[in-house]
Amino acid sequence: MHLPDGFLDARTALLSGGAAAAGIALAVRRTRTQLVPRRIPFLGLSAAFVFAAQMVNFPITGGTSGHLIGGVLSAVLLGPSAAIIVITCVLMVQCLMFADGGLLSLGANVFNMAIVGTCGGHFIFKIAQRLLGGDPVRGTVCAAAFAGWCGTVLASLSCAGQLAFSGTIPWGMAFPAMANLHMLIGVGEGLATGLIVLAVLRTRPDLVAGFGAAGVESTATTAGYGLLLSLGLAVFVAPFACPWPDGLESVAEHFGIAHKAGEHLIATPMADYRFPMIASASAATSVAGLVGTVICFGAAYALARVLVPQRGGEKPQ
């Protein structure tokens, strides 16, 4: 769902970028006061995992694929403010390093996926979790899965609104096209979100925001294992991901606007997730994925270290 440059007019890009900047500023302020230092490594881990998972497109229907957004998953584990920072880091790395999403459309992409999808999905998660009640594990997992589906659909509707506001595709056509495809893509998002939350609750329930007491295992150890898993996805699974166009690309082709996608405004070192000087496509994707995963981890971790003050002598592990 990464909008390239050329799909939005200047007015829509500026408005979306302004809204995204306001959301990020609020997220930074809340993260600074709410995130405890021992959870800092998990911002890096979440960014690394989301980046790697977004490389793994899965087929849905009619020659269209989808991929995990990861905003709701990050919000369930870290809280919505930290999740906004995580997804924003991923989107910036994708744009600046891999030409995935336009530079002028970066604000719109952040608004759709890091703010609308993440915060809207988390709001639905909290409501669903309260309504389900009963077994807290089952309720949390089911609420997370449903919220993951909702977050994907909400982000797609925001994207459809931007396309319509720009006059690129009329709302009456953009809304059903984006909604219908992303309702299907959201099923994969919801299943992945629910299963990952279930796995975390079974092993480290303290890693779910507001769920359980602090675990005895070192956060650095857990983050290290998680980073290895993320690297495994990027190196060994991503090269064999479904090559079909994703939901937005499919809509663009259907309505004949794909040609409006402009050239990326800056030179990116690993455009289209290919590493230079490596002839093999799968090997190039593996190396690019490895580099991107490490960069996302480092960027989110370093940003969290800068943002979050140490309180009461507590240090990140």
**Per-residue confidence (pLDDT) for residue 316, from 0 to 100:** 46
Mean pLDDT of 277-296: 96
The residue-averaged pLDDT of 178-199 equals 97
Q: For 118-151, what is each residue's pLDDT tens digit?
A: 999 999 999 999 999 878 899 999 999 999 999 9
Which stretches of 99-215 are DSSP H helices? 106-109, 117-132, 136-165, 171-203
Query: Angle 80-13-165 (CA atoms, 0-180°, nearest 5)?
Result: 100
Residues 86, 87, 91, 92: what is their CA dihedral angle, to the nearest 10 degrees? Answer: -30
- Give the model's pLDDT for residue 213: 54
Angle at 248 between CA 295 and CA 115, to 5 degrees: 55
Selected residue with higher pLDDT from 313 and 27: 27
- Residue 203: its pLDDT value, please? 87
Examine the pLDDT at 214 and tell me if it is beyond 60: no
The pLDDT score that the predictor gives to residue 317 is: 45
Tell me the CATH class for 10-307.
mainly alpha
Which range, of 83-92, 159-168, 261-270, averages the lowest pLDDT? 261-270
Task: Characterize the bridge pairing of strands 58-61 and 64-66.
Answer: antiparallel
Read off φ and ψ for residue 12, nearest 5 degrees.
Answer: -65, -40
The pLDDT tens digits of the residues spanning 224-238 come to 899 999 999 999 999
Is residue 313 pLDDT above 60, yes or no?
no
Reported confidence tier of residue 61, pLDDT bands at 50, 70, 90:
confident
φ, ψ dihedrals at 314, nearest 5°: -70, 140
Indicate whether 314 pLDDT > 80.
Answer: no
* Residue from 144, 139, 175, 170 nearest 159 by CA: 175
% of the chain residues with pLDDT over 70: 95
Q: CA-to-CA distance for 117 and 149, rounded, in angstroms?
A: 10
Domain ranges of the chain: 10-307
User: What pLDDT shows up at residue 212?
Assistant: 58
233/211 Cα distance (integer angstroms): 27
* pLDDT-derived band at 58, boundaries 50, 70, 90: very high
pLDDT of residue 216: 46
